[in-house]
Structure 1
Amino acid sequence: MTALTLTNVRPWGGDPVDLTIRDGVIAAIGPVGADRAAATDLLDGRGRVLLPSFSDVHVHLDSTRIGLPFRPNSVGPERTLAACIENDRRNWRSAGASVAERATETLGRAIGHGLTLARSYAQVDADCRLERLEGVLAAREAHADRAEVQVVAFPQAGLLLEPGVPDLIDEALRAGAEVVGGIDPCGLDRDPVRHLDVVFELAERHDAAIDIHLHEPGELGLFSAGLVLDRVRAHGLRSRVTLAHAFCLGGSPMDRVAPVLDAIAELDVALTTVAPGPREGLPVRAILDRGIRLGLGQDGQRDYWSPYGTTDMLDRTWQLAFTQGWSRDEDVEVGLAVATVGGRRVVDPSTDRSTPLARGAGTGVGDPADLVLVTGDNATAAVMDRAGDRTVVRRGRVVADRGVLR
């Protein structure tokens, strides 16, 4: 039986304890120095805050430029979805490194910051075919002992606009992707019935989950969301579908949003956000009050869409708190729970949900030993300061310390 004891750590910034891990789960928590078995490896936590490790459940590892020289954004003044897609397609082959190299570097940096779980999109279209998917799969393999990566076969340029894309998505699912992607059934493909026919048929054929980017705003987005929910109900795919972005839920009146949220809760559809800002940001409290699964992500990172993204989910947690207008510690800690345990629940709906997304989540006896030690007077201070002195543990093994991978 393998064992590791983290000594003098403060779960969620509370009182110091010793925490023992056995066979990949938290086995015991007790007073500092009270019971340290001779056969147990010890890691001095130095009084740092102990949190569940981070989960980035909306990331595009195939488009990152992290680690490469800065390249000014060339989308142009009209930042439409189509313009961003085309800018990426014009440039991704001339990045200066392969997709596999860039994805591996970005994922490694994220692990160094405290991540052990990601859901990454891999663009599949008539231009790149499976090349970008292969790069993401290579990054997943390179870091397989350090992090779990779930891959979405994602038709970024549309599912129906170019010939052969549904067949390529089918091929991607046979090649290693686990999730069927979709995007703006009305706004991009302009044929929501056929778009959703393809997505749900592929999901049933491969027994795969579904993750649909929904950038569509206002009434259009609410209409598309309603169509997706109708399909979930008709196909019996409760707990198998995620709506990513879902800007319409943040930019519409609550009397229109509330019934949609109720249906999302009923069907156990998950939501993910990248904390975009007050106009498009999700109503997090209303979502969590309904028990809806919610995760956080970095989206693209210094890519051909925008210069933002740092690979550090603690940065994105700060952004979530800032854009939600949160100032109280208990609210900021909700953001931390969304960025950690919340993402686990999005990726794996069977994850225990008996603990609410709040202070203390993910650090109790029986919880997975996927953890990160961070510097701070308390959990909120760690979000505000975002210091670099971190130790990352996956399944009871240290996989990174102060940004250096092991």
Structure 2
Amino acid sequence: MAENPEVAPVVYTPGLVDAHIHPDKTGWAGPWMSRRPASTLQDFIANDLATQREFAETVEARAYALFSHALRNGTLAMRAHVDVSSELGTANVEGVRAAAERLAPHLTVQIVAFPQFGLLTNPGTLDAMAASLTAGADLVGGIDPIGVDGDMAGHLDAVFGLADRAGRDIDIHLHDGGEEGLAQIREIAARTVAAGLQGCVTIGHAFALCDSTLPSLRETLERVAEAEMWIATCALGPDPVPDLGLFEQHGVRLAAGSDGVRDSWSPFGTGSMVDRAHLLAYRTGAITDAELERAFRLSSTAGGEMLRIPDLATWDGASGGTYLEFHSQSIAQLVVDRPVPFSVVRRGHPIHPNSSL
């Protein structure tokens, strides 16, 4: 029999942080979207572009619906990857920024200018990326220098060059696996150190780092740690997940995110980082309370540290003014049960989950 919430114990937690999400792609709060089949990264990207052209709702409306739902579920900050290209220009960035401003200061949104459709292979995209940094984007993104653009040096020259000229941090998608994927990660780490960007560069997905059979894995983890880079993981479907203990042994910093939520890539995703902590714990074989709590930490304070947001990067208890309240006996239990917080407070200001935002 379920506990009566009026007498259930209460646990206070830090605010949640979504370290990797794509709000411009979501169909949240809209009609059901039937997905096209896809088996390769190129298939998914092509389907995504076609779907974005078909949406009846604006980017701002869809992003706002998703942001509002996530905020009610305790997410107080996001690293949002938003498509920029010669076809789309800066329109998606402007739409996501407008949605985010409607929920400020309760929700902090960092926007990454994301060249999903290619940077070098899609002429005009680099100019659009530069323009996006004055249209609402905060960081410079990249995607599979070899797998998508086919030119590691050229792609990274463009990404690091733009970041240097604009004085921005970097967040690169890297799906490429195998030793080729590890080689790209080591090159990104080397450039991070050379540019003095320690702590300012993130790699999303980094599937190659999840393959324990690769000979150069441990060496690459050491390079990532030395460069103080962040890795964002999403525990998606059949995608590889990191060995959390191995990452900790090597001092690699990790945070969790949702990735796509109800978009053309997948019908799944809820926009709840409690759900994401549950999935990460499940996918990594969590059993003990400490392992469950680690999944929650990667979905909360780790993301706050990655985004460098003081009230979300550390947890001094509810007296700090930013906290969530759950009906649960412990953080370990709430990761398993996945409740919605009944109280969300940011910098001392209550956010009422069931009221209009």
Asked if the contact 2:74–2:341 (Cα under 8 Å) also holds between the matched residues in 1, the reply is no
- From 8, 15, 20, the equivalent of 1:58 is 20
**Structure-to-structure mapping, 1:13-92, within 5 angstroms:** 47-74=9-36, 76=37, 78-92=38-52
Residue equivalent to 1:114? 74
Asked if the contact 2:179–2:214 (Cα under 8 Å) also holds between the matched residues in 1, the reply is no
In the superposition, relative to structure 1, how do residues 349 and 396 fare at CA in structure 2: closer, same or farther (>3 Å)?
closer
**Amino acid corresponding to residue 58 of structure 1 in structure 2:** H
Asked if the contact 2:12–2:317 (Cα under 8 Å) also holds between the matched residues in 1, the reply is no
Asked if the contact 2:304–2:312 (Cα under 8 Å) also holds between the matched residues in 1, the reply is no
Structure number, greater radius of gyration? 1
Shift, 1:352, TM fit: 9.9
What is the alpha-carbon distance in structure 1 between the residues aligned to residue 336 and residue 193 of structure 2?
41
The alignment partner of 2:101 has SS state of: helix
Gap regions ≥5 residues in structure 1: 1-43, 354-360
**Amino acid corresponding to residue 245 of structure 2 in structure 1:** R
What is the alpha-carbon distance in structure 1 between the residues aligned to residue 48 and residue 215 of structure 2?
37
What is the alpha-carbon distance in structure 1 between the residues aligned to residue 228 and residue 333 of structure 2?
33
What is the alpha-carbon distance in structure 2 between the residues aligned to residue 180 and residue 149 of structure 1?
15
Does the alignment pair 1:299 with 2:259?
Answer: yes
Between Structure 1 and Structure 2, the one with more strand by share is 1
Asked if the contact 1:250–1:279 (Cα under 8 Å) also holds between the matched residues in 2, the reply is no
Residue equivalent to 1:339? 299
Q: Kindly provide the CA deviation profile for residues 172-201 of structure 1, in whole angstroms up to 9, marking residues without a partner as x.
A: 012221100000001100011010000001
- From 371, 393, 401, the equivalent of 2:345 is 393
Between Structure 1 and Structure 2, the one with more helix by share is 2
Shift, 1:45, TM fit: 11
What is the alpha-carbon distance in structure 1 between the residues aligned to residue 309 and residue 218 of structure 2?
22
Gap regions ≥5 residues in structure 2: 1-5
Per mean C-alpha deviation after superposition, the further-off stretch among 252-261 and 231-240 is 252-261
What is the alpha-carbon distance in structure 1 between the residues aligned to residue 173 and residue 300 of structure 2?
21
In the superposition, relative to structure 1, how do residues 119 and 310 fare at CA in structure 2: closer, same or farther (>3 Å)?
same
Shift, 1:326, TM fit: 0.7
**Amino acid corresponding to residue 40 of structure 2 in structure 1:** T
What is the alpha-carbon distance in structure 1 between the residues aligned to residue 163 and residue 82 of structure 2?
16
- From 261, 271, 281, the equivalent of 2:231 is 271
**Structure-to-structure mapping, 1:247-326, within 5 angstroms:** 247-253=207-213, 255-276=215-236, 280-326=240-286
Does the alignment pair 1:376 with 2:338?
Answer: no
**Structure-to-structure mapping, 1:92-103, within 5 angstroms:** 92-103=52-63
**Structure-to-structure mapping, 1:180-195, within 5 angstroms:** 180-195=140-155
Shift, 1:219, TM fit: 1.0
Residue equivalent to 2:3? none
Report the count of equivalent residues: 352
**Amino acid corresponding to residue 355 of structure 2 in structure 1:** V
The alignment partner of 2:94 has SS state of: helix
What is the alpha-carbon distance in structure 2 between the residues aligned to residue 255 and residue 238 of structure 1?
25
Shift, 1:383, TM fit: 1.5
What is the alpha-carbon distance in structure 1 between the residues aligned to residue 356 and residue 7 of structure 2?
18
What is the alpha-carbon distance in structure 1 between the residues aligned to residue 262 and residue 238 of structure 2?
22
The alignment partner of 2:198 has SS state of: coil
RMSD of aligned alpha carbons: 2.1
Shift, 1:239, TM fit: 1.1
Asked if the contact 1:277–1:323 (Cα under 8 Å) also holds between the matched residues in 2, the reply is no
What is the alpha-carbon distance in structure 2 between the residues aligned to residue 352 and residue 61 of structure 1?
21
Given the two structures, how large is their TM-score scaled by the length of structure 1?
0.82
In the superposition, relative to structure 1, how do residues 137 and 199 fare at CA in structure 2: closer, same or farther (>3 Å)?
same
Shift, 1:49, TM fit: 1.0
Q: Kindly provide the CA deviation profile for residues 42-66 of structure 1, in whole angstroms up to 9, marking residues without a partner as x.
A: xx99741111011001000100111
Shift, 1:281, TM fit: 0.5
**Amino acid corresponding to residue 404 of structure 1 in structure 2:** S
